[in-house]
Amino acid sequence: FIISQLSTSGATGYFVEYAGDVFENMTMEGRMTVCNLSIEMGARGGMIAPDETTINYVKGREFSPEGKAWERALAYYKTLKTDVDAVFDKEYTFDGSTIEPMITYGTNPGMGMGILHKIPDAEDVEAGVATYEKSLNYMGFHEGESMIGKKVDFVFLGSCTNGRIEDFRAFASIVKGKKKADHVTAWLVPGSHIVEAQIKEEGLLDIFNEAGFILRQPGCSACLAMNDDKIPPGKYAVSTSNRNFEGRQGPGSRTMLASPLVAAAAAVTGVVTDPRDLIEELV
């Protein structure tokens, strides 16, 4: 959402700090996703001040300090926050309550919109008319169109952006008890062997297998068309990765970036779908 508002160059040369209720209420892994995506708007990096969520996440994990070393580390962690009287070069405020599930329609992460919105007119796009028209031509889309109902050929859950255990839990919450759409190829790729082990320990692998999904080896995979994990030319993929450049997931591939929930909804319906419709079915 923020990239769609500030553009892919909106933070160039800066380090971005995120603050407010939305980020305070996020899990640690959700915060990792946000900070990861800072690079996609040109930033040198992103940060969220450490708090109890941070400390509880780090404490007791593999390689975490122990004993007196932990106490020293904890004291240091608590200093890693912005001074109360700090002055920022730029400040932006957004109302998180207005943000709906997002999806991209173009060929950079800034070309994103709420999933129920229409593809905007060229003059409303930061990238410029020429880039906008080239992007839509590549994607096979038209301004004013809705993304809802667009056919999806591939779904990719993974990458450094959304390859953590929470992402797989979210995906499983949508697909549990359902079947993958027949025409969809879905690759689920853990970000590490630790995440892979958690998937198996928590029984998520059984849910994925029953729904017809493929759990692949941990790593980068289809994020950048690594090994055999390539999206064929002209095919559409809903991907939880961070980049949707031309050919990023394979020559001629067409990528729509989205969250694990949006990806899961697309995987079981075979088209771009508002995941809230499926979540309501679970309530």
Q: Give me 133's structure tokens.
A: 């028209």
The whole-angstrom separation of Cα 149 and Cα 222 is 23
Going through 75-234 in order, the beta strands assigned E by DSSP cover 102-104, 112-114, 154-157, 185-188, 214-215
**Per this entry, what is the length of the chain?**
283
Task: State the pLDDT at residue 282.
Answer: 61
**77 contacts: CB under 8 Å, gap ≥ 6:** 50, 54, 55, 58
CA dihedral 175, 181, 184, 190 (to 10 degrees): 10
The whole-angstrom separation of Cα 58 and Cα 71 is 13
For residue 161, give Cα distances in angstroms to 111, 146, 215, 221. Answer: 17, 26, 17, 13
Fold of 2-77: Aconitase; Domain 2 (3.40.1060)
154-282 is classed in which CATH architecture?
2-Layer Sandwich (3.30)
Specify whether the CB–CB gap between 63 and 70 falls below 8 A.
no
The whole-angstrom separation of Cα 86 and Cα 245 is 36
* Residue for token pair 């800072």: 38
Task: State the pLDDT at residue 192.
Answer: 97
The whole-angstrom separation of Cα 40 and Cα 53 is 25
How many C-beta neighbours within 10 Å does residue 7 have? 18
* Residue for token pair 């957004």: 94
Task: State the pLDDT at residue 27.
Answer: 98
Q: Give me 170's structure tokens.
A: 């979210």
Domain spans, the chain: 2-77, 154-282
What residue type is assigned to position 154 of the chain? Answer: F
Task: State the pLDDT at residue 127.
Answer: 66
Q: Return per-residue pLDDT of the chain as tens, 283 residues.
A: 999 999 999 999 999 999 999 999 999 999 999 999 999 999 999 999 999 999 999 999 999 999 999 999 999 999 999 999 999 999 999 999 999 999 999 999 999 999 999 999 987 776 678 889 999 999 999 999 999 999 999 999 999 999 999 999 999 999 999 999 999 999 999 999 999 999 999 999 999 999 999 999 999 999 999 888 999 999 999 999 999 999 999 999 999 999 999 999 999 999 999 999 998 766 4
The whole-angstrom separation of Cα 208 and Cα 217 is 15
Fold match flag (2-77 vs 154-282): no
Q: Give me 89's structure tokens.
A: 């070069």
Task: State the pLDDT at residue 228.
Answer: 86
- Which residue intervals of 102-183 are DSSP H helices? 129-139, 165-175
The whole-angstrom separation of Cα 239 and Cα 280 is 23
Structure letter (DSSP) for residue 146: B
